[in-house]
Structure 1
């Protein structure tokens, strides 16, 4: 009986680990590295660098993606609309995408901010507007505090920057554990995660529509690779204690700041994080958009670009543009509802 059970366990482990390794290779073949790895002192960060064009009217822009993401997320949202207007650097955060993890301090936003500062130096960028989405908001805030001389402005998009009640999801806690975490990420994450990519990406856009080509363009499956999922989980587990300690210091940030958030964000609550930033950073402008979820970078890209222009010193009425975006979102929501009703009628007829 014991021998049969042991055989079954070993068979499961071998099969599950083999499946995870096979799918990891398949995901990397489907979404190969589109960036360039740069040594920043014993380890390498990956980034897509778009040099400053002759027609540039904006400062250099540095984009920091959120949890479970990679550089393709912000690249797909902004590279096209901002083409010809600025030097841009889209970064895989340490341990994400194709970047190496680096030292232990890179498990915290402060360490990742310092790593990004070293990469900026390597790329010859003296200062930039730093754009952080979601988890990237905590890193953008750390960058603004630790590297003020390199920070021309800060744009926070649905940022995660302040303490919140309830902790984190159990699977992050499990994945970050020393031994159980290794087993979980190598045996369980891949088969379950592949089944949740569709619903997971829909949920981060809710209540707005997800672009039909979003998965293909942004490669969210990259986070399911065991080492990447473990790094991601460690980041998320460490965040609460980190922001609890560092949020009281946000008043040290002096760079021009804009925060764009949605009142319907179910991922990061705007009343805690975005309003908290607006309260803590002197002179920050808070732009709250009704019926917007967690992806202002995609749903209200025009408002985000106007915010970059504002941070660059150009006159822009962000509140007016937000009101226009609300009308557009309401219209799109109505069209989607009508389409669903028609589909249901056709299906039941």
Structure 2
């Protein structure tokens, strides 16, 4: 089951509790109840890493295991880009979201997406198939901006609780990720969660779900109890990345 963050994709934003990862984790827990899903392997990429970690702490009875992909989970230096703060401002924010953010965002959509994948190639059909332009809609841009603006304070407060996580955990991160600092977040998770496996992949950026898809699938299978040598799979994935990245 794939779940939009509230206010993203085609989902509604809901109440102010969804401005924070614990509120979004609660929304997932409620959805699982409605769908009759008692337990699940929770997979979180980027911001979704904070949601997945919060879910495991707050809803351990529903958590079979965790897979983190380039997660954002710990306090970091430097804050966030200025436009997230402008987008959430009470007066100028709506004007900014409906004009500057929308028009400039469409102009920058392809180079920004290429940068997220870098140094790995962006799939040629990604923008058409994945719909990243959806985040530029004024309501979605506000939801994402609120998420990002609130995240650092939230993980500063909540990350000490990650040590409570006892479920099987795999973390996949690239050493060339310029979006989320792997040395802070992924290594921080590996230190916090007892028994977590950290798979550090050379020459991979912020999208290991695309760059090393087979490894991510193998990690899910391993968490589910199937015999998988993840370290060997990681090294094989690195070799494949080297081949596909060559000009």
TM band (smaller chain) = over 0.9
Aligned: 1:155 with 2:30: no
What TM-score, normalized to structure 1? 0.70
1:186: how far off? 1.4
* Structure 1 counterpart of 2:163: 251
Q: How does 1:325-336 map to 2 (within 5 A)?
A: 325-334=237-246, 336=247
* Structure 2 counterpart of 1:8: none
Distance of 1:316 and 1:271 partners within structure 2: 25
Q: 1:281 aligns with which of 174, 184, 193?
A: 193
- SS at 1:91 equivalent: coil
- SS at 1:129 equivalent: strand
* Structure 2 counterpart of 1:124: 36
* Structure 2 counterpart of 1:174: 86
- SS at 1:328 equivalent: helix
Q: 1:220 aligns with which of 132, 136, 142?
A: 132
CA offset digits 1:37-83 (Å, max 9, x no partner) = xxxxxxxxxxxxxxxxxxxxxxxxxxxxxxxxxxxxxxxxxxxxxxx
Which contiguous aligned blocks of 4+ residues in structure 1 show a shift greater than 3 angstroms? none
* Structure 1 counterpart of 2:101: 189
1:332: how far off? 1.8
Aligned residues: 247
CA offset digits 1:179-204 (Å, max 9, x no partner) = 11111101211110100110011011
Distance of 1:295 and 1:181 partners within structure 2: 30
Task: State which drifts further: 320-329 or 136-145.
Answer: 320-329
Q: 1:112 aligns with which of 24, 31, 34?
A: 24
Q: Which ranges of structure 1 fall in alignment gaps of 5 or more residues?
A: 1-88, 337-349
Q: Which ranges of structure 2 fall in alignment gaps of 5 or more residues?
A: none
Report the aligned-residue RMSD: 0.7
What TM-score, normalized to structure 2? 0.99
